[in-house]
Amino acid sequence: MAVLVQQMLQPDYSFVIHTVNPVTGNPDEIYLELAAGQGETLASARFPGTPYRMICDKKTGQPTMMLAFADFSKALWVGRQEGVSAKTVDYSACSLSTNKKVRTRIGKRLTAIGLLVEKAFGSPQDIEGAIVGDRISLVQSRPQILAG
């Protein structure tokens, strides 16, 4: 038996990386989804809305298409005294919405991470993680289930 203890992060953004585009099945594309705050916003469907959705070219790392800009009604944040709480997010003020250079930089970094993890495991991966400032942390990776 083992116990895994992780540091609680307060991410600026949480993300999911699919190392093969799950929409088209294109193995040359990385598919990214991002949302402000804790990853639960992406995973639970607790709050109505859409995450940032981006496609990046595996060879260049360059974002090739922005499929959606986030518009979740709320995000989950961790406070020292109140614990986890839902707060309204103004996505129109988020740098991912307003700054193409930020989107390009994050897209390239997440693409590089996706490629590294895919290579390490030898198969397409579904990766979850968090961005805190300039630091990117991976929470988990599992084989990506591809429609066949």
pLDDT in tens, 129-140: 999 999 999 999
**Number of domains comprising the chain:** 1
> Is residue 51 in a domain?
yes
Q: For residue 31, is it within any domain? A: yes
The two tokens of residue 72 are 């979740």
Among left, alpha and beta (phi > 0; psi -120 to 50; other), residue 81 is alpha
Per-residue model confidence (pLDDT) at position 148: 65
Residue with the larger pLDDT of the pair 107 and 41: 107
What percentage of the chain reaches a pLDDT higher than 90? Answer: 63
pLDDT of residue 103: 95
Write the burial class of residue 148 (CB in 10 Å: 0-12 exposed, 13-18 middle, 19+ buried): exposed
Does residue 68 fall inside a structural domain?
yes
Contact partners, residue 135, CB within 8 Å, separation at least 6: none
Across residues 111-133, what is the average pLDDT?
97
> Helices (DSSP H) in 1-148: which residue ranges?
40-44, 95-98, 100-121
Q: Look at residue 64 and tell me if it is in a domain.
A: yes
Domain around 110: 13-141
- What does the pLDDT look like over 42-58, one tens digit per residue? 777 777 788 999 999 99
Amino acid at 136: I
Quick check: is 8 in a domain? no
- Asked if residue 3 is part of any domain, the answer here is no
Contact 35, 44 (CB under 8 A): no
Q: What pLDDT does 107 receive?
A: 97
Classify residue 128: in a domain, yes or no.
yes
Strands annotated E in the chain = 13-18, 29-36, 52-57, 63-68, 74-79, 83-88, 125-132, 135-143
Phi (first) and psi of residue 12, to 5 degrees: -70, -45
pLDDT tens-digit series, residues 63-103: 999 999 998 888 887 777 777 888 888 888 999 999 999 99
CATH number at residue 87: 3.30.470.20
Residue 114 lies in a domain: yes
pLDDT band with cut points at 50, 70 and 90 for residue 6: low
**Mean pLDDT estimate for the chain:** 90
